[in-house]
Amino acid sequence: SAVFLCFCSAFMSGHTLLAFWLCRQEGKLNRQQTLELGHHILKAHIYKGLSKKLGVSSSVLQGLWMSYSTESLSPVLSSLRNLYTPNIKVSRLLITGGADVDYRSDVLNSAPLLCVHAHLGHTDAVALLLDHGAQVDAQSQDGLTALGFAAAAGHLDVITMLSQHRAKVGHVDSSGRCVLVHAAQRGHLEVLRFLLRRADWSCTSCCGERGAGRSQAVQQALIAAASMGHTEVSYSLTSTVTMLYRMMETHLRCVCYRVVHVCGCDGCLLASAGGVVPVGSSRRR
């Protein structure tokens, strides 16, 4: 109806006026004002009819407007208001305007934005940052990655998303704890089950020899869970440890069998070295 159209026109005009009013303020806008400006720019649709004429996307024009209104968009993206109550549309506009998706925040030991949103369980914000090229294994000052923060907080949906972007499960922080240990200490059983299904535990690029292998991580997680009294988690990890040792024993038996029957080595020598020699496999001299 005509009344509805007039209402919509007045609504959009109000956002337009507020956007221009903010830009007319003396000096550059602060973080709070910049977030408000982004909200009003998106609601006003000022460039809706100009994008086809100019050959430039309206989102690019809106991003330029934002970048000219403040000193830097990265601190705005990492402001406390946008961290704890993120506005995804305004955040996307800030990134379009040039905000750094790997910018370090003022919380959680200067953790990058991805780590903070992973810790808080903001799946939409995590997806937005990953889609715009955020480093999936960026670390806080204590060496904890986004996967570690999500595992400690028990956010399985965030962990699944990070794993799809090849986050490193075997990474250890500055205290020597891997992702599995952080999840076990807080009793997140479903997180542990998901992480144990991951095949790639290598983390040689940043951790080197400090990176935790699968069997080592399970043993450390079992100790961590038992120390915190998480009985169900401890029982599940104990079963996993038993299974791993059985797999290692089976593998060792196969290796020893091949050594004895192919290379002709003495079975007594293998047994003294800790090998498991198949019955009747030792060759006569």
Nearest to 99 by CA among 133, 75, 116, 123: 75
**Cβ neighbours for 241, distance < 8 A, ≥ 6 positions apart:** 215, 218, 219, 222
CB 88 within 8 A of CB 124: yes
CA 152 from centroid of its chain's CA atoms: 12
Position 20 scores a pLDDT of: 79
Position 262 scores a pLDDT of: 42
Q: What pTM does this model have?
A: 0.78
How many C-alpha atoms does 130 have within 13 Å on its Cβ side? 23
Position 10 scores a pLDDT of: 43
Give the type of residue at 123.
T
Position 204 scores a pLDDT of: 52
Give the CA-trace dihedral at 254, 260, 266, 269, to 10 degrees.
Answer: -20
Structure token pair of residue 164: 């799809």
Q: How far is CA 2 from CA 6, 7, 65, 233, 242, in A?
A: 6, 9, 32, 63, 74
Position 285 scores a pLDDT of: 40
Q: Which regions of the chain are under pLDDT 50?
A: 1-11, 247-248, 251-252, 255-285
Position 121 scores a pLDDT of: 97
CB 179 within 8 A of CB 200: no
Phi and psi torsions of 101, nearest 5°:
-75, -15
**First and final C-alpha spacing in the chain:** 103
> What is d(CA 266, CA 2) in angstroms, rounded to the nearest whole number?
97
If you search the block for the tokens 């939409």, which residue do you land on? 124
